[in-house]
A and B are shown apart, each in its own frame.
Chain A
Amino acid sequence: MLATIPSSVVQGVDGHPVAVEVHVSNGLPGYTLVGLPDASCRESRDRVRAAILSSGYRWPTRRVTINLAPSGLRKQGSALDLPIALGILVASDQIEAARVSGLGAIGELGLDGSLRPVPAAVSLADAVSATDLAVPAAVAEQAAAVRPDPVLAVEHLRQLVDGLIGAGPMPPSVAAPDASAAAGCPPTGDLAEVRGQPLARWALEVAAAGGHHLLMTGPPGAGKTMLASRLVGLLPPLDGAQAVATTRVHSAAGLAVPSGGLVRHPPFRAPHHGASMVAIVGGGTAAMRPGEVSCAHNGVLFLDELGEFAAPVLDSLRQPLEEGVVRVSRAARSVTLPARFQLVAAMNPCPCGDGADPVRCRCSESSKARYARRLSGPLLDRFDLRLGVRPPASEVLLGGAPEESTAVVAARVAAARARAAERGVRCNAELPAPVLEAAAPLSTAASEVLANELERGRLTGRGLRRVRAVGLTIADLAGADGPLGADTVRAALGLRAEPTAFLGEAA
């Protein structure tokens, strides 16, 4: 008897359809699994056997051959347990073949027959070519997000088989979560908790409204991390497509997907500065697990202690920053992972952190020069907003008027982003050069200001475009129309401190 159950495997964040073909024939009892299974896949035999027996079904004492097609694609992971079990039950005549027609399955089996959640459920569910899909109940919501029809949320192998053969009710159906539903509160702290620091607060607002990359420099304890984590609260919640795309990455990376099945808030990823290249870019396992840049897709990637990251790791950020994707190539295959993130970085002015105060700084000239060298160059050029932060004075921390809350600032950000949306982009940082020139004409006075900066060598052609984009965002926040004024351009310039200014004068 032959049975075929549609299923899928994942590489990177892309699912690939796999047909699980099970053949049970006369001959010496045996079990053969072919079609490039890796170790985790081959272990399925023992799980499936135990699960079938624990659920009260028969293990065929005949020759069992399982082919995972297409056979050229490497299979890994435990999500093929359920389709293999179903295939064996059909091929050994315990389920009628007609009952499973059009049914696909993914899921890992426990020895007792219970269904365990699998990573990358979103991508897996997306790739299964079948009208119905049985998935572990724990990941049913995410899986349903990418399916046209509701999915079967299965708790236990027996529950599914009983439903199929009519011995019990079918497992419950779960429909796709409503992507446009209210997103609820953002998971991070409120901006009102940041006392003082008007410059950094405003830079955060501009960053949120325009999607501009932000670099904060300051001594330890200046509140850089606190500020950065407030940024995601200012960003608008993800729209339907973004939510699905980000959920797909998070699911593939094995991150917890919030209840409701979709990641609705821009993610905030803060990898440690010891992170390896693979951890940042992705591609560690055979499944080409997404890295931090992809986990921050549609959200914020925060690099604290930027100067402590390995230079190759920092260099690897340049492709995703430019293209919004990261291409990971390994010997056998390459995958393209989504990685459109807003980069927020914090750094100390020098290795000891006290560089702003030369008397307290304990760094040698050479270590400062090394630090500056590592940070100089193209990466720092990507930051449209660069500012120095400084711990607020104690009287501001202890008293002072309460600051604006996240909700108030987020409303202004949303209004500014609405204006950007009229230009056909989500935020001004994404504006292509010709559109930017049309959208942000310069007043005569503003042109003079910029011409002066160019002449003095303080601005490059690339910097000029970025200043215009930031100026446009500032005008959007202020609700100003018409050509950019001189003061708007000056404010944009003021948010663009030369990164070397923070690094001392290490010659």
Chain B
Amino acid sequence: MSPSSPHLDPDTRARLILLRLDQMGPARLQWLLAGTEAPAVLDALRRGRLPLGGDAAPPGVHRSLVERWHHDLADIEDGVDGIVAAGRELGVRILSPADPAWPFTDDPEPPGLLFARGDLDLLAPDTAVAVVGTRRCTALGRTVAYGLGRDLVSADAVVVSGLALGVDGAAHRGALDHGRAVVGVVAGGLDVVYPRANRALWDEVADRGLLLSETPLGLRPDRWRFPARNRLIAALSDGVIVVESHERGGALSTADEAIRRDLPVMAVPGSVTSAASRGTNALLLDGAVPVRDALDVLAYLGRPLPGSVTGGGGDGRAADAAHRGDDTRSEVGRVPGPSAAPPPGSMAARILAEVATGPIHLDDLVAVVERSVADVLAAVQDLQAQGLVELEGSTVSHPRPGPS
């Protein structure tokens, strides 16, 4: 038996060892710990036995699994000190339920331990909102997620998400570009970057916000760890927004966990033909709250609205619109400000009217305006310089805030 690790109390140490056992998820750990303490569980396992705590067999634990645990235990105990040291090197803090910062006091299914890199103050925010969604999102979903991250952070809310590709990453990005109140919850150990494409984002969240996992260092994000991670995202938030989700997307499990905890579930409405919005539209049909932007979210959660005097209703919306207008302008920089609206009946006015109904290809614009391609292109470029339209590729659309 190896000596106890310095700076690690016996309970935390026992939990760390238990968490490193094969297929040790939150439900099994909770069953094992029911009515007893982690060191006692560990003692039982060392003897190849289950603790005599539960009445029924733990979920899905067969004799063979207990034998495997018994077999692996010695190695794991030997390796624990090295892992703790490596984690300390990475700046990883280990939180246990005894810790004053422990955020899961009342949670129905708390993690065994919490591994954290970054600003622990973010565990106790006034408002924390989860912004989640599919990895395979549309450009629109990405833009909305980015805008939600940006505007929620600007309104002093903490943005919680899962550091995945797609919606999660866009929400983190938007929040990091405009603040630092960002919590990323990942499925694997904090030293196992997944997906690798998000390494830079991962480090930025750890440096400027807070990076969390319930998985001990060194363990890969197995499939079953993602729904478990989603439960932590919900548990850390005051409300969950699903931006886009396919029919059976993982983001829906985050919504389920929120419902289990009586938290509000919000969803961004999408096109009924969009596969990436099928899950969110179904959520709306089931009674989720439709939200269009951060303002809707804050209003629903009853939080103060930025820039608004009355703090609610249409006035607040208008005030926020003005606020966002400021944002857009500051991003555009030292561009000659929007000149007066084009005179009615002019080609520019007709183009603006067409664009107002939705993005339009230059071919169609030429056909509608009935002028030469050169004239239309010149007019569109002029309108773009004024910030009134956006020419992306060969499609003209309304300028939209967000990542470009």
Query: A residues engaging B (CB < 8 A)?
Result: 196-202, 217, 356, 358-359, 364-366, 369, 387-390, 392-393, 396, 449, 452-453, 455-456, 474, 478, 486-488, 490-491, 493-495, 497-498, 501-502, 504-505, 507
Contacts and interface: CB of A to CB of B under 8 A. Distances in A.
Interface stretch (B83-91, B98-106, B121-129, B137-145): B137-145
A255 B197 CA distance: 48
B394 A497 contact: yes
Interface stretch (B30-38, B222-230, B267-275, B284-292): B267-275
Given A364-B136, A497-B391, A196 B375 contact: no
Contacts of A389: 394
A129 B226 CA distance: 80
A383 to B, nearest CB: 13
Contact of B393 (A217, A365, A474, A486): A217
The interface centre, meaning the residue of B140, B334, B373, B403 with most chain A CB atoms within 10 A of its CB, is B373
A202 B166 contact: no
Nearest to A502: B393
Given A390-B361, A392-B363, A505-B403, A488 B378 contact: yes
Nearest to A449: B385
Nearest to B336: A452
B363 A198 contact: yes
Contacts of B139: 358, 504-505
A486 to B, nearest CB: 8
Contacts of A387: 362, 393-394
29 contacts: A196-B363, A198-B362, A199-B366, A201-B373, A202-B373, A359-B138, A359-B271, A365-B135, A365-B136, A365-B165, A396-B367, A449-B381, A452-B385, A455-B334, A486-B382, A488-B378, A490-B377, A491-B373, A491-B375, A491-B378, A491-B381, A493-B381, A494-B362, A494-B380, A497-B391, A497-B394, A501-B393, A505-B142, A505-B403
A494 B335 contact: no
A490 B378 contact: yes
Contacts of A474: 374
Given A198-B373, A358-B140, 20 more contacts: A196-B363, A196-B367, A198-B366, A199-B363, A201-B373, A217-B393, A359-B275, A359-B276, A364-B136, A365-B166, A366-B197, A388-B393, A452-B385, A456-B335, A478-B374, A488-B378, A491-B373, A494-B380, A497-B392, A505-B403
A494 B271 contact: no
Nearest to B366: A198
Contacts of B140: 358
A456 B333 contact: yes
B310 interface: no
A11 B193 CA distance: 55
Nearest to A218: B394
Contact of B377 (A359, A495, A501, A502): A495
A390 B335 contact: no
Interface residues of B, number: 43
A199 B366 CA distance: 8
Contacts of A393: 364
A452 B335 contact: yes
Nearest to A196: B363
Contact of B273 (A359, A366, A392, A490): A359
Contacts of A388: 361-362, 393-395
A105 to B, nearest CB: 57
B217 to A, nearest CB: 26
B392 A501 contact: yes
B169 interface: yes
Interface string B381-404: 110010000011111000000010
Nearest to B201: A507
Contacts of A390: 361, 363, 394
Nearest to B373: A202
A343 to B, nearest CB: 19
A202 B374 contact: yes
Interface of B: 135-136, 138-140, 142, 165-166, 169, 197, 271, 273-276, 332-336, 361-364, 366-367, 372-375, 377-382, 385, 391-395, 403
A153 to B, nearest CB: 51
A507 B169 contact: yes
A490 B373 contact: no
A392 B273 CA distance: 22
Nearest to A198: B366
Nearest to B198: A507
Instruction: Point out which of A388, A390, A507 has the most chain B C-beta atoms below 10 A from its C-beta.
Output: A507
A502 B395 CA distance: 10
Nearest to A495: B377
> Which 6 A-B pairs rank lowest in CB-CB distance, beginning with the nearest?
A494-B377, A388-B394, A490-B381, A487-B378, A358-B138, A490-B378
Contacts of B392: 497-498, 501
A396 B367 CA distance: 10
A452 B366 CA distance: 25
Nearest to A487: B378
Given A389-B394, A497-B391, A507-B169, A358 B361 contact: no
A494 B395 CA distance: 11
Contacts of B375: 487, 491
B377 A491 contact: yes
Contacts of B378: 486-488, 490-491, 494
Nearest to A203: B373
A347 to B, nearest CB: 12
Contacts of A358: 138-140, 276
A452 B395 CA distance: 21
Nearest to B395: A388
A462 B332 CA distance: 23
B236 to A, nearest CB: 25
Contacts of A488: 374, 378
A364 B271 CA distance: 21
Contacts of B135: 365
Contacts of A456: 332-333, 335
A359 B244 CA distance: 12
Contacts of A365: 135-136, 165-166, 197
A490 B391 contact: no
Of B169, B381, B382, B403, which is in contact with the most chain A CB atoms at under 10 Å from its CB? B381
Contacts of B391: 494, 497
Most buried by A among B135, B276, B361: B361
Nearest to B367: A198
Contact of B381 (A201, A369, A494): A494
B362 to A, nearest CB: 5
Contacts of A453: 385
Nearest to A388: B394
A494 B382 CA distance: 10
B274 to A, nearest CB: 4
A456 B333 CA distance: 8
B8 to A, nearest CB: 39
B394 A199 contact: yes
B362 A199 contact: yes
Nearest to A349: B393
B370 to A, nearest CB: 10
A143 B385 CA distance: 58
* Most chain A CB neighbours (cut-off 10 Å) among B138, B166, B364, B394: B394
